[in-house]
Amino acid sequence: MDTRKSILHTASRLFYTQGYNATGINQIIQEADVAKASLYQHFKSKEDLLIAYLEIMFEKTMSHFRQVASTKDEAKGKISAIFDFLYQNTNSKQFYGCQFLNIAGEIPLENSRVYDVIRLQKNGLRALFAEILKSDSMREDEIENSESLADGIYLLFDGAIMSCKVFGNSWPVIAAQKSALKLL
């Protein structure tokens, strides 16, 4: 693995498992087994490393959601499949919550650079739900309501993630999935 990837891989694991603020540059350097100069050659700051981590996670999560949705034909099946995927992930011992929501809980709102990437992922998920809903043959009045419906499904989805983290259990995903499917 090249140096940049090693640093990013180590930082990603640490940011996710122990949090951004609890992860120091020296720990990343030590666990990635790189020199401090190497880290700063690839990332000017810890925040630059965080941004790279979030951008990679954005691509990965959206790719997973799209792939899972593509296994079904109708909107209801696609959305249900995304919730099923979430259930599998929240049921894992390696589940520490949503990377983006975790970072949002640690970073001040004034940090627009980080929040722009977080919002990009959250808006991407909302847009995916809207795209799925619009993909079904809908009447014109239903298409207009699909954005609002997508927002409601998104809120159920993200609420389920946070609740799973709080309760250490996956039941919130099942409850959110049932509610989302009733909306459809």
pLDDT in tens, 145-169: 788 899 999 999 999 999 999 999 9
| Structure tokens given for 1 | 């693995």
Q: Which domain holds residue 81?
A: 46-183
73 and 159 part of one domain: yes
Residues 6+ apart with CB under 8 A from 160: 83, 86, 90, 172, 173, 175, 176, 177
83 and 31 part of one domain: no
pLDDT in tens, 36-67: 999 999 999 999 999 999 999 999 999 999 99
R_g over Cα of the chain: 18
Instruction: Return the CATH number at 115.
Output: 1.10.357.10
pLDDT of residue 137: 58
143 and 179 part of one domain: yes
Instruction: Return the CATH number at 27.
Output: 1.10.10.60
Concatenating the DSSP letter of every residue in 127-161 gives HHHHHHHHHS---HHHHHHHHHHHHHHHHHHHHHH
